[in-house]
Chains A and B, each alone.
Chain A
Amino acid sequence: GIQVEQSPPDLILQEGANSTLRCNFSDSVNNLQWFHQNPWGQLINLFYIPSGTKQNGRLSATTVATERYSLLYISSSQTTDSGVYFCAVLSGGYQKVTFGIGTKLQVIP
């Protein structure tokens, strides 16, 4: 099946810093989503981005489907950005969803 790799696995940022999270996938995909899982386990939709670039406040994402990667940018990070960021792809004839292992982000004051 498709492989989804996220990097870095862990990231510690000073409040106010910027960061880039990466998601690589091994095959063509029909869909890609970025999620933030907060400390209570809730998954929050950030972007639905099978291709192109989108921005939402301090966050933006770019997916280059032909090169099989997606990037999530976090600017001016805040402590509330802490948590785990997952990318998930939908692929194959059976439309199966595969999650990456996540990037654990800690923003310190």
Chain B
Amino acid sequence: GAVVSQHPSWVICKSGTSVKIECRSLDFQATTMFWYRQFPKQSLMLMATSNEGSKATYEQGVEKDKFLINHASLTLSTLTVTSAHPEDSSFYICSARQGLAGRQNEQFFGPGTRLTVL
């Protein structure tokens, strides 16, 4: 149980284009999903917290107009990188909170999406 998928697993795009990444909880409903960014050989940095049916909460320094997050259902959150530039190239990882009694805060992670902007 507690499987989270991401699509696509990797994407290469031209500078100036927009890229959408999907995060799905396959076998549970997730009222809260998280988006992280990881640079090579570094730790994960939380970008935003996504709650179903409401606006995402962005961390300080993350541009909300550049990284659009939509959490339209209890099993799907999307991250759209708008007008991507080479500096947006990174490994993007989502996670979902299952919310089980006694383990409400436990997060399960997707496999990540590697974005390369040329």
Point out residues on A near B: beta carbons under 8 Å: 30-31, 33, 35, 40-43, 45, 48, 86, 88, 90, 94-102
Contacts and interface: CB of A to CB of B under 8 A. Distances in A.
A35 B95 CA distance: 12
Contacts of B43: 86, 99-102
Nearest to A98: B46
A42 B112 contact: yes
B interface majority secondary structure: strand
Contact of B114 (A30, A31, A41): A41
Given A41-B91, A41-B93, A41-B114, A33 B44 contact: no
Contacts, number: 46
A95 B93 contact: no
Q: A43, A48, A94: which has the most chain B beta carbons within 10 Å?
A: A43
Interface string B78-118: 00000000000001010100000001011111011010000
A100 B45 CA distance: 10
Contacts of B109: 35, 42-43, 45
A30 B91 contact: no
B111 A95 contact: no
Nearest to B44: A99
Given A43-B93, A86-B43, A102-B43, A31 B111 contact: no
B94 to A, nearest CB: 10
B54 interface: no
Contacts of A101: 42-43
Given A40-B111, A86-B44, 18 more contacts: A30-B105, A33-B106, A41-B38, A41-B111, A41-B112, A41-B114, A42-B109, A43-B93, A43-B95, A43-B109, A45-B109, A48-B103, A90-B105, A97-B34, A97-B46, A97-B107, A99-B44, A100-B43
Contacts of B34: 97
14 contacts: A30-B105, A33-B107, A41-B91, A42-B109, A42-B111, A43-B44, A43-B109, A45-B109, A48-B103, A48-B106, A88-B44, A96-B46, A99-B43, A99-B45
